[in-house]
């Protein structure tokens, strides 16, 4: 059906004079300025399509035809032609609505729909320089296009208002020809739009886009709906691909496999075991060594969790917006990194983030917030919250949620993290970087055997009563600035007897770890015994006598300027904390505090925990305090020897 070209703004004001037109332009410009996200056009078109099919589903149900109607949304991402088309078999636009719906702040929708502020259609029409719309309803069908609208909006003295004019030809989306009713909208991108090029994200197939849209748009429904059929088609230089997701649902990593458990199920089992057996009973295997913990809480449950910590303003948010909160807690931040890398899109581009994702109108909106933790800050990157508010829509466009809602979400997320998730951390897999495996263990064992053979074939020995005296000081004259300096200083400390009983073995650069060391108690036992004044790096008399004459098998030794380097190696899976026995470094850095603890053996009352001479600290599991590896932190060792009393106080302040 054809029609006479019309100006969408005429409906807004039937007397469009110069002043009124300027005011309308400002109104439209304000609307467009609120859309700043790369995925905003996807979100707007998809939410409109979902609202349309749900409206028709209600209509068909009232007519008794619900069983014969399959709500369908088709999404065509044409990277070659730099365009996006979203089609639906929903309610459609009749002739009157077809001419009215692009007017600013005019909407046919109610507050129960995903979009009802009347700005999305305006954004789609005037935010781009090409928009085509096709509608089918009983008794009316039309296709029109508006061109150059964005340029008109920002050009001074532009003459005629852009008009919707009839558009001949086939639909951009072939799927729309199969719909007897509905709407299909196409927008094209150019250098003046955001995004400019669909190719920028480097997602070139339908599966990648399905994952992206389930995170960034209404396809990521907070409440899963498998009754809506969706199809995503992507045209790229490599050809055409398509996918039909099983449902409209938010993308949760824990649903993609692995060993998972619901938080309330873990709590219930723990209570059952406590009531039956008392404390100390281990949970069944299905609740241990988990990849993810997850759960969802209602508004009433949130109030119980917050308890006395619930502020008055937060109580008002609970009562007015009835939020629900879902969470997944992964054993390592690398789960999110791995997912983003698995998409094979633009390097270092992250689609899914840990943190707090706010949602309203049943869909995620805006960028994630950071969980405001005071301690164990590294968990910010292991936890993903989805906070959904009923009876609420974000500010015009996608500018964001009101402050009190964002603050509420941060407060509740922090409370759940500190009071619930922290207690369950031990049920997750240990965050050791690389999972233990037989191949890795065999390689480490074979490396040790090769180095032992090398030591046997080509031993190095130098002994003399005239050496290493009489200077009584190291010859390194300045603080280390890199790892090589750490190695040089450490070996001088061993040669000078500051650190006793460590035998450094040869190694090679082709293996994962820096070197091997043997712990020897082959000197007179009194040389190893702790004395606060004369031998503050020593061990207990009992340990020295028990190990007298003993030499351990090779142990793995790592050198770092800062312990941060070793923590990063664990995080990137380059090295495994289960392999490393001793790390020698100049300083601790700060990264360890996110997921590890440190016990200082330079505090006199902790000296009896030292397992061999020279150890200054131990790296521990943050949750259960178990020792992971020994540390020799050279800067703190030297400080302890030079200023023992002041050093002890600083050690207490830093580590206790």
Edge-first strand listing for the sheet containing 355-360: 260-262, 292-297, 324-330, 383-389, 355-360, 363-364
As a whole number, mean pLDDT of residues 67-78 equals 95
Q: Is the pLDDT of residue 113 over 60?
A: no
Residue-level pLDDT at 509: 59
Residue-level pLDDT at 112: 54
Q: Is the pLDDT of residue 438 over 80?
A: no
As a whole number, mean pLDDT of residues 349-376 equals 90
Task: Output b/e per residue, 124-154; b: 16+ Cβ within 10 A.
Answer: bbbbbbbbbbbbbbeebbbbbbbbebbebbe
Task: Output b/e per residue, 84-94; b: 16+ Cβ within 10 A.
Answer: bbbbbbbbbbe
What are the structure tokens assigned to 316, written together? 């008002």
**What is the number of alpha carbons within 13 Å of residue 35 lying toward its C-beta?**
24
Residue-level pLDDT at 452: 87
Tracing tokens 């925990």 back to the chain, one arrives at 609
Which of 370, 378, 388, 305 has its CA nearest to residue 591? 378
pLDDT band at 118 (very low <50, low <70, confident <90, very high): very low
List Cα–Cα distances, 520 to 38, 444, 551, 552, in angstroms: 62, 21, 4, 6
Residue-level pLDDT at 183: 95
Domain boundaries, the chain: 10-243, 255-427, 437-655
Distance of CA 543 to the CA centre of its chain: 46
* Residue 503, beta-bridge partner list: 518
CB atoms within 10 A of CB 58: 12
As a whole number, mean pLDDT of residues 622-643 equals 90
Q: Is the pLDDT of residue 645 over 80?
A: yes
Eight-state DSSP code of residue 527 = G
Eight-state DSSP code of residue 74 = E
Do residues 390 and 323 make contact, with C-beta atoms less than 8 angstroms apart? yes
As a whole number, mean pLDDT of residues 246-275 equals 93
Tell me the range of 25-34, 35-44, 293-302 where mean pLDDT is highest.
Answer: 293-302
**Cα–Cα distance for residue pair 316/321, rounded to 1 Å:** 8
pLDDT digits (tens, 9 = 90+) for 137-178: 999 999 999 999 899 888 765 567 888 888 887 888 999 999
Q: Is the pLDDT of residue 212 over 60?
A: yes
List Cα–Cα distances, 54 to 90, 214, 225, 464, in angstroms: 7, 18, 11, 90
Task: Output b/e per residue, 285-314; b: 16+ Cβ within 10 A.
Answer: eebeebbbbbbebebeebbebbeeebeeeb
The lowest-confidence range among 81-85, 312-316, 429-433, 530-534 is 429-433
As a whole number, mean pLDDT of residues 503-510 equals 75
pLDDT band at 584 (very low <50, low <70, confident <90, very high): very high
Task: Output b/e per residue, 218-254; b: 16+ Cβ within 10 A.
Answer: bbbbbeeeeebbbbbbbbbeeeebbbebeebbbbbbb
pLDDT band at 437 (very low <50, low <70, confident <90, very high): low
The lowest-confidence range among 253-257, 286-290, 331-335, 432-436 is 432-436
Residue-level pLDDT at 442: 82
Q: Is the pLDDT of residue 115 over 60?
A: no
* Strand intervals (E) in 91-216: 130-137, 140-147, 165-166, 182-188
Q: Which residue has the higher pLDDT, 353 or 467?
A: 353
pLDDT band at 114 (very low <50, low <70, confident <90, very high): very low
Q: Is the pLDDT of residue 14 over 60?
A: no
pLDDT digits (tens, 9 = 90+) for 393-432: 776 454 578 899 999 999 999 999 999 999 998 899 876 5
As a whole number, mean pLDDT of residues 533-554 equals 93
As a whole number, mean pLDDT of residues 53-62 equals 92
The lowest-confidence range among 23-27, 465-469, 506-510 is 465-469
What are the structure tokens assigned to 331, written together? 């054993």
- Name the average pLDDT for the chain: 87
| Run of H or E residues at 24 | helix 18-33
CB atoms within 10 A of CB 501: 23
What are the structure tokens assigned to 315, written together? 């109580």
Residue-level pLDDT at 622: 76
What are the structure tokens assigned to 437, written together? 């495996």
Sign of CA dihedral 240, 245, 248, 253: negative
Residue-level pLDDT at 472: 66
Distance of CA 272 to the CA centre of its chain: 34
As a whole number, mean pLDDT of residues 33-43 equals 86
**Cα–Cα distance for residue pair 127/185, rounded to 1 Å:** 14
CB atoms within 10 A of CB 167: 17
pLDDT band at 75 (very low <50, low <70, confident <90, very high): very high
Do residues 567 and 593 make contact, with C-beta atoms less than 8 angstroms apart? no
As a whole number, mean pLDDT of residues 341-354 equals 89
As a whole number, mean pLDDT of residues 465-483 equals 73
As a whole number, mean pLDDT of residues 185-208 equals 94
Q: Is the pLDDT of residue 116 over 50?
A: no
List Cα–Cα distances, 58 to 51, 225, 625, in angstroms: 11, 15, 58
196-248-371 Cα angle (round to 5)? 70
Residue-level pLDDT at 463: 63
| Cis peptide bond prior to 195, omega within 30° of 0 | yes
What are the structure tokens assigned to 399, written together? 């500018």
Q: Which residue has the higher pLDDT, 239 or 121?
A: 239
CB atoms within 10 A of CB 109: 17
Q: Are strands 627-633 and 617-621 parallel, antiparallel or unpaired?
A: antiparallel
Q: What percent of the chain has pLDDT over 70?
A: 89
Selecting from 2.40.160.20, 3.20.20.150, 3.40.50.12280, 3.30.565.10, what CATH number does the domain 10-243 have?
Answer: 3.30.565.10
Q: Is the pLDDT of residue 132 over 80?
A: yes
For the whole model, what pTM was predicted?
Answer: 0.66
């Amino acid at each position: 059906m054809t029609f006479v070209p019309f100006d969408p703004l005429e409906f807004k004001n039937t007397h469009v004079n110069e002043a009124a037109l300027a005011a309308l332009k400002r109104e439209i410009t304000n609307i467009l300025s609120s859309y700043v996200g790369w995925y905003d056009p996807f979100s707007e078109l998809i939410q409109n399509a979902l609202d349309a099919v749900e409206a028709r589903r209600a209509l068909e149900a009232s007519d008794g035809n619900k069983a014969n109607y399959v709500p369908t949304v088709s999404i065509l991402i044409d990277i070659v032609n730099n365009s996006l088309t979203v089609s639906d078999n929903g309610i459609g636009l009749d002739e009157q609505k077809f001419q009215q719906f692009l007017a600013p702040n005019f909407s046919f929708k109610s507050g129960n729909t995903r979009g009802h502020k009347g700005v999305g259609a305006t954004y789609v029409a005037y935010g781009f320089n090409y928009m085509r719309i096709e509608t089918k309803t009983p008794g009316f069908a039309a296709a029109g296009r508006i061109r150059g609208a964005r340029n008109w909006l920002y050009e001074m003295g532009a003459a005629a208002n852009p008009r919707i004019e009839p558009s001949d030809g086939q639909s951009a989306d072939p799927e729309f020809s199969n719909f007897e009713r509905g709407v299909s909208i196409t927008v094209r991108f150019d250098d003046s739009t955001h995004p400019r090029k669909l190719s920028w994200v480097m997602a070139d197939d339908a599966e990648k886009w399905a994952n992206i849209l389930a995170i960034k748009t209404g396809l990521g429904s907070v409440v899963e709906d498998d009754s809506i059929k969706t199809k995503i088609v992507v045209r790229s230089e490599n050809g055409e691909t398509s996918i039909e997701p099983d449902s409209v649902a938010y993308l949760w990593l824990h649903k993609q496999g692995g060993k998972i458990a619901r938080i309330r199920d873990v709590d219930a089992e723990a209570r059952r075991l406590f009531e039956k057996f008392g404390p100390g009973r281990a949970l069944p295997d299905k609740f241990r060594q988990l990849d993810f913990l997850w759960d969802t809480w209602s508004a009433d449950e949130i109030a119980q969790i917050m308890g006395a910590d619930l502020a008055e303003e937060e109580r008002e948010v609970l009562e007015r917006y009835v939020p629900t909160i879902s969470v997944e807690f992964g054993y390592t931040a690398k789960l999110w990194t791995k997912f983003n890398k698995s998409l094979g899109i633009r390097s270092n581009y992250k689609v899914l983030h840990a943190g707090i994702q706010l949602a309203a109108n049943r869909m995620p909106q805006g960028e994630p917030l950071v969980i405001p933790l005071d301690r164990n800050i590294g968990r910010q990157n292991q936890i993903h919250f989805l906070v959904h508010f009923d009876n609420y829509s974000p500010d015009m466009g996608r500018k964001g949620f009101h402050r009190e809602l964002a603050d509420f979400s941060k407060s509740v997320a922090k409370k759940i993290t500190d009071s619930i998730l922290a207690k369950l951390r031990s049920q997750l897999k240990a965050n050791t970087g690389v999972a233990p495996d037989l191949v890795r263990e065999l390689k480490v064992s074979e490396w040790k055997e090769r180095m032992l053979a090398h030591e046997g074939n080509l031993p190095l020995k130098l002994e003399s009563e005239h050496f290493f005296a009489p200077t009584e000081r190291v010859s390194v004259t300045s603080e280390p600035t890199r790892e090589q300096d750490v190695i040089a200083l450490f070996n001088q400390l061993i040669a000078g007897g500051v650190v006793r009983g460590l035998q450094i073995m040869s190694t090679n650069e082709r293996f994962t770890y820096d070197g091997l060391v043997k712990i020897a108690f082959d000197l007179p036992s009194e040389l190893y015994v702790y004395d606060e004044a004369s031998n503050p790096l020593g061990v207990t008399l009992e340990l020295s006598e028990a190990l007298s004459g003993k030499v351990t098998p090779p142990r793995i030794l790592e050198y770092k300027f800062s312990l941060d380097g070793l923590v990063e190696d664990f995080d990137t899976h380059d090295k495994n904390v289960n392999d490393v026995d001793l790390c020698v470094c100049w300083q601790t850095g700060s990264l360890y505090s996110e997921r590890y603890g440190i016990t200082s053996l330079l505090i006199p009352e902790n000296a009896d925990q030292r397992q061999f001479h020279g150890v200054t600290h131990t790296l521990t599991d943050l949750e259960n305090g178990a020792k992971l590896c020994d540390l020799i932190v050279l800067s703190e060792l030297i400080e302890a020897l030079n200023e023992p009393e002041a050093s002890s106080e600083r050690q207490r302040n830093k580590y206790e």
